[in-house]
Amino acid sequence: MPNIVDSHCHLDFPDFEADLDGVITRATEAGVERMVTICTKLKSIKRVREIAETYEPVFFAAGTHPMSAASEPMISVEDLVALAAHPKMVGIGETGLDYHYTVESADIQKQSLAIHIEAARQTSLPLIIHSRAADADMALILQAEMAKAPFTCVMHCFSSSPELAKAALDLGFYLSMSGIATFKKSQELRDIFAAAPLDRILVETDAPYLAPMPHRGQRNEPAYTAHTARRGAEVMGVDFASFAAQTTANFDRLFSKAARWRPA
């Protein structure tokens, strides 16, 4: 069983509360050797950190989700830098722009995004971007910020336009493939991934959301990364073992702190 990485999930969500041991066990049995669980609100950090400390294969990232930017206290660069001192915190975010549900808070989302970008620079941890219905603004902001000073980034659960994909790839960023890429009506998205360099692709679940085929409509969990990775191998025209090895190498390159981590 080739090893793969679930680069983005939410193991602190209530969906997993009664079954977390089983979720982690099933993931490792499916070849998912590591998982990054994402803290989307600072008030959840204690539980997210506890999960990473309890389960050896689990790492974490922290930030304020754009849909919560207006309802949560504004996070600071100092907050994020302090959190990044933890040996298993490996990313900044998720952050970004969401104009589908929360366009009314666009200005606040942009302020929050700028804070996360600066924290990514200062910590040398990758920025984890959520972008929905905000392609033009997202491309402009990322390009402008990269011109100021460099940072690394993954476009999490990428399902946006070819134009945003090109803008991100041109900046040296990564695209993360979720279960959406396995859906029957997602051929345009698969075409975007097929045109991208294989050494810039990650895989994820975004669990408990967006379960891939054949589990669509069910609770998603990290073990299902294997289904997305198998479909990803088909999309990229390589065998599953090669796709698993390359996306794992990509993860290690981007999330280098996770690659360097060893148990105490």
Mean pLDDT of 34-63: 98
Helix (H) or strand (E) segment spanning residue 233: helix 225-236
Mean pLDDT of 68-94: 97
Residue 263 within a domain: no
Residue 152 within a domain: yes
Phi, psi of 209 (to 5 degrees): -95, 165
Percentage of the chain exceeding pLDDT 70: 100
Residue 207 has pLDDT above 90, yes or no: yes
Phi, psi of 34 (to 5 degrees): -145, 150
Residue 244 within a domain: yes
Residues near 68 by beta carbon (within 8 Å), at least 6 away in sequence:
40, 41
Residue 213 has pLDDT above 90, yes or no: yes
193 confidence band (pLDDT: 50, 70, 90): very high
Residue 264 within a domain: no
Burial class (CB in 10 A: 0-12, 13-18, 19+), 29: exposed
Residue 201 has pLDDT above 80, yes or no: yes
Give me the chain's average pLDDT, please: 97
- Structural domain tally of the chain? 1
pLDDT score recorded for residue 75: 96
Residue 192 within a domain: yes
119 confidence band (pLDDT: 50, 70, 90): very high
Mean pLDDT of 15-28: 97
Separation between Cα atoms, residue 178 and residue 209, nearest integer Å: 10
Domain that residue 129 falls in: 4-258
Separation between Cα atoms, residue 239 and residue 230, nearest integer Å: 8
Mean pLDDT of 185-214: 98
pLDDT score recorded for residue 1: 76
Please report, for the domain that includes residue 254, its CATH number. Answer: 3.20.20.140
The closest of 168, 187, 180 to 228, measured between CA atoms, is 180
Long-range Cβ pairs for the range 242-250 (8 Å, 24+): 243/198, 244/2, 244/3, 244/4, 244/31, 245/2, 246/198, 246/199, 246/201, 247/4, 247/5, 247/201, 247/202, 247/203, 248/3, 248/4, 248/5, 248/33, 249/199, 250/174, 250/199, 250/200, 250/201, 250/202
Residue 37 within a domain: yes
pLDDT score recorded for residue 264: 81
Separation between Cα atoms, residue 244 and residue 256, nearest integer Å: 17
pTM (whole model) above 0.85: yes
pLDDT score recorded for residue 226: 96
